[in-house]
Chains A and B, each alone.
Chain A
Amino acid sequence: MTTVWVPQDSSARAVGADEVAAVLATVDGVTVRRNGTRGMLWREPLVEVETDRGRVGYAGVTAEAVPSLLEAGLLVGSEHESCIGVVDEDPWLTAQDRVSLARIGLAEPTDLSAYEAQGGWAGLRRALELDPADVVEEVVASGLRGRGGAGFPTGVKWRTVLQAEAEQKFVACNLDEGDSGTFADRILAEADPFTLVEGMTIAAVTVGATEGYIYCRSEYPDAVARLRDAIAVAAEHGYLGDDVAGSGRSFRLQVRVGAGAYICGEETSMLESLEGRRGEVRAKPPIPALRGLWDSPTVVNNLLSFAAIPMILADGGEAYAARGVGRSRGTQIFQLAGNIARGGVYEAPLGVSLRELVEDVGGGTRSGRPVRAVQVGGPLGAYLPADRLDVPMGYEELAEAGGMLGHGGLVVFDDTVDMARMARFAMEFCAVESCGKCTPCRIGSTRGVETIDRITSTPAGTEGREQLFVLLEDLCATMTTGSLCAMGGLTPVPVRSALTHFPEDFGGSPR
């Protein structure tokens, strides 16, 4: 029997992986197994064949191409134009520093024995041996900052929850991942769900929480299903439930599904939604660490923050902190998206330059045209022009360049992009997705769309045109200062960056 791996990742399925798997399953002597993606999305469906040399990969396989690939010797790993050689030796993978992504694509996502064999649960075991305060200090020492966007030190948050006196505490994972150009949460949840389960369990036993929720957006049905399976398997084997890994401590975990609202990624809106209400943002304070779910102390972290925890506990916070730049410690899972030749997930120490990620790793644009702009950090992040890509990818370093790391997504645009249109879209998106609580966000964004429309439809030189730019800047200023959360508060960032770096797309100078 020859074992052939075909990913069941949703991006791989979107380019026909299920059809490829179905055809291969009819071949005599072939066992098809379904792994998660390796993260090289531009190569999906990436079929891997087990050979004496290791797992040999074939990229971009279609169901129609399977017969000819078989003829060419796919089952023995023969040369072929779509063959990429031994996958573990692929330079795109070996150049990475995979900490949180270490296990993706290697096995069936819910194969618990594979997870154990690949070092799973070592972090939880160590956490259970330590005093909770020492676990927290390990996380503090790692320098890990929240990967959901705000960059708040994770250890400090946990310390607050640990020290809070309460009968009931909760742990909640933010898997709303609404930012365009981001999909690392999804890939990890689909490919290696136990890493999230382990990270959340460590958080729970540390702060004394007995219940946990994963809030997953409804656009990710595969992730929801995979996580539910993983939770059931982990519970069956005693890693969740009344006696977590034989420690006598209790932790129950469940998945809750969002309902199509970008704002529910904002943590207080997410809490409202988890409680079954409209996802309206809550004013802070009180912070969720003290009064979160049902007014109880709650750890709220992004999936990637939790996913870094097992390694931090297993290898020590210092090992994680040894990577990075300035106050940005550890690794980041960068997501290469948009008009990019080699899109996928790339884990590297913080501090790698944006240019290296876009040009060397990503291979430039998919269209083959010159890069014109890169939006970093999601829809609330700045558009950086092609001549400003030499910035190191760190929290402070990007802020200095007018940008934001956010959730680590990079969206590349070629020279056909109309930046006035992208600025308009930023305002439009805010108008559609605003929770409606504050006027500058709700009304300002709609006025922003109208104003940009008037600018682009008013020929340069027309009297009064200058006033439209003043009006737009006023709107931006009001939104920045008068919004309760970063939705309204940061929408002006992409708009202003487009105006600053690409004035020619707005019909040239204000006059």
Chain B
Amino acid sequence: MARAGRQQTEELTPRSARAEVTREVAQGYAGERGPLLEILHAVQAEHGYLADEDVSEIADVLNLSVAEVHGTVSFYHDFRRRPAPDHQVQICRAEACQSVGAAALFDAAQDHFAHREDVEVREVFCFGNCALGPSASIDGRLRARVTIDDIAAAESGWSR
């Protein structure tokens, strides 16, 4: 699967190169007050996820303990500790979207992608699109009044 392949390339990349990039990104925020979240977002945007070496590098730059940085990372839903799958389907399961069928949509999407390891289906709570639900974000793009057919149509776009 694609994921295993990526991990392998990761292993081949010299550790220090990644750490170097992480350090540079983190140092870019050195003058800011309380920059940890900003740095975590930026490093994740760079590498796709936060590896152990990123955490220690960031801790070193900010003069924090690794445990402190790890504690922050683990608190927030947004931060990933492993590579992201190729496709991300986020479905809003909050109340306003439930009132127009989000629970069934979420179940249907999970079933639909059950056989695809390269697709992550995740619940989220509210995109601020609550007048036009059910809402979903497919590979970062917000969509409104979503049906399972819309999701299947988006999927057929990927394989092309």
Contact = CB atoms under 8 A, between A and B. Distances in A.
Interface of A: 10-11, 13-15, 41-42, 44, 177-183, 185-186, 211, 218-220, 256-262, 273-280, 293-294, 335-340, 343-344, 366-367, 375, 379, 409, 411-414, 417, 421-422, 425, 429, 432-433
B129 A183 contact: yes
A183 B99 contact: no
B130 A343 contact: yes
A379 B94 CA distance: 8
A186 B129 CA distance: 9
A337 B134 CA distance: 11
Contacts of A183: 128-131
B121 interface: no
A411 B99 contact: yes
Given A180-B94, A411-B95, A259 B129 contact: no
A177 B95 contact: no
A339 to B, nearest CB: 4
Contacts of A257: 37-38, 41
Given A181-B96, A343-B130, 16 more contacts: A10-B129, A11-B129, A41-B132, A181-B126, A211-B33, A256-B37, A258-B37, A259-B77, A259-B78, A260-B77, A260-B124, A277-B68, A280-B75, A375-B95, A409-B130, A429-B94
A129 to B, nearest CB: 31
Given A261-B76, A277-B72, A10 B131 contact: no
Interface string B28-65: 00000111111011000000000000000000000000
22 contacts: A14-B135, A178-B125, A180-B96, A181-B94, A181-B126, A182-B126, A182-B130, A258-B37, A276-B35, A276-B37, A277-B71, A278-B71, A338-B96, A338-B130, A343-B131, A375-B95, A409-B130, A411-B95, A411-B99, A412-B99, A422-B95, A429-B125
A120 B71 CA distance: 43
Contacts of B132: 11, 14-15, 41-42, 44, 343
Contacts of A338: 95-97, 99-100, 130, 133
B78 A186 contact: no
A276 B72 contact: yes
B108 interface: no
B48 to A, nearest CB: 16
Nearest to A367: B100
Contacts of B34: 274-276, 294
Given A11-B144, A278-B75, A178 B96 contact: no
Contacts of A337: 96, 130-131, 133
Greatest chain A CB density within 10 A among B35, B94, B128 is at B128
A180 B125 contact: yes
Nearest to A294: B33
Interface string B74-103: 011111000000000000001111111001
B20 to A, nearest CB: 22
Contacts of B113: none
Contacts of B72: 276-278
Contacts of B94: 180-181, 379, 429
Contacts of A343: 130-132
Those 8 A-B pairs whose CB atoms lie nearest each other, nearest first: A343-B131, A276-B36, A180-B94, A259-B76, A260-B77, A337-B130, A338-B99, A14-B144
Contacts of A335: 130-131
A422 B77 contact: no
B99 A218 contact: no
A280 B129 CA distance: 27
Contacts of A422: 95, 98
A42 B94 CA distance: 19
B88 to A, nearest CB: 13
A204 to B, nearest CB: 16
